[in-house]
Amino acid sequence: MRAIILTLLMSIYTFANIGTIMALQGQATVERGTSITAKMGMAIEQGDRIVTASKSRVQVMLKDETVITIGSNSSFDFKEFSFDGSKNSKVNLKANRGFFRTVTGKIGQVAPNRFKVKTVSATIGIRGTDFAGHIMDDKEIIVCYSGAIFVEIDGGGIKDVLAGTLLEIVNKGAKVQGGVSTIPLKKVIYQSKITPENISDISNEVLKSLNELEEYPDHTPDYVPNFHEEFEYDNN
């Protein structure tokens, strides 16, 4: 009887634990019915919301090795996660405000059509990719760094956003623009699974021109790419 109870408890824990906070800078909370102070190595559960303070950043690795960086003054929901290595795997995330950057893991290979990120004004789908978003009061900026994404606007219409381009959404109107290399970038977090305490914050870093971009390293069990960067957008 004790063994059966232990097995059930382990099953519940395995289902609930969908990822881990691999890097943390500054202060953040995990909203899970109550507000919990975020800590390095803390398990993330389905339904959790991460809220970051000013000058704070959090990086989470999901169980399929998807890596999500959440910038300062941001709110991000982990609504649904299911990964069994098959096409039935599913990830639903939601960016409520602020900055996020996502590098899709194994689900991008087996079930890319079942990976979605909802923003205030749109829904982002992937084709195996590295992309970011900045949710502001008056507009949203969605950038694709590699691969490709498609964005379904709440007001109607679908936009394809290829590597090196960005989508600006204002009042539910959307326009694709090129020249991601001209946008100021700021490195958020360097992340290694072996040494998760290593965090760097490099300001005023400009992305290389598109023909100079290096190939990003593949996900491996011992390494998470160190190219999570936060951008500030100014259309003036």
User: What value does the mean pLDDT take over residues 150-159?
Assistant: 90
User: What value does the mean pLDDT take over residues 120-130?
Assistant: 88
> 140 vs 53, 68, 102, 112, 158, CA distance in Å?
20, 18, 16, 23, 15
Asked whether residue 165 is domain-assigned, the answer is yes
Asked whether residue 74 is domain-assigned, the answer is yes
Helices (H), the chain: 2-16, 107-110
Q: What is the pLDDT of residue 90?
A: 94
Asked whether residue 18 is domain-assigned, the answer is yes
Q: Which of 74-78, 129-133, 158-162, 226-230 has the lowest mean pLDDT?
A: 226-230
CA dihedral 73, 79, 83, 89 (to 10 degrees): -120
Quick check: 181 and 208 in contact, CB under 8 A? yes
Quick check: 65 and 105 in contact, CB under 8 A? yes
Asked whether residue 193 is domain-assigned, the answer is yes
> 73 vs 89, 98, 133, CA distance in Å?
30, 6, 13
Asked whether residue 109 is domain-assigned, the answer is yes
For tokens 């996020």, name the residue: 100
Asked whether residue 236 is domain-assigned, the answer is no
Confidence band, pLDDT 50/70/90 cuts, at residue 155: confident
Could you tell me which residue, 229 or 99, shows the higher pLDDT?
99
Asked whether residue 155 is domain-assigned, the answer is yes
Q: What is the pLDDT of residue 3?
A: 52
Q: Which of 36, 40, 42 is nearest to 26 (CA)?
A: 40
Q: How far apart are CA 127 and CA 149, in angstroms?
A: 6
> 85 vs 7, 107, 108, 217, 218, CA distance in Å?
22, 7, 10, 21, 17
User: How many domains, the chain?
Assistant: 1
Could you tell me which residue, 105 or 192, shows the higher pLDDT?
105
User: What value does the mean pLDDT take over residues 156-168?
Assistant: 89
Number of H-type helices and E-type strands within the chain: 2, 20
What is the domain extent for residue 223? 2-231
Strands 122-126 and 130-135, bridge-based pairing: unpaired
Q: Which of 23, 99, 102 is nearest to 54 (CA)?
A: 99
* For residue 20, pLDDT beyond 50: yes
Asked whether residue 188 is domain-assigned, the answer is yes
Q: What is the pLDDT of residue 88?
A: 92
CATH number at 63 reads 2.60.120.1440
Q: What is the pTM of this model?
A: 0.75
Q: How far apart are CA 231 and CA 100, in angstroms?
A: 10
Confidence band, pLDDT 50/70/90 cuts, at residue 173: confident
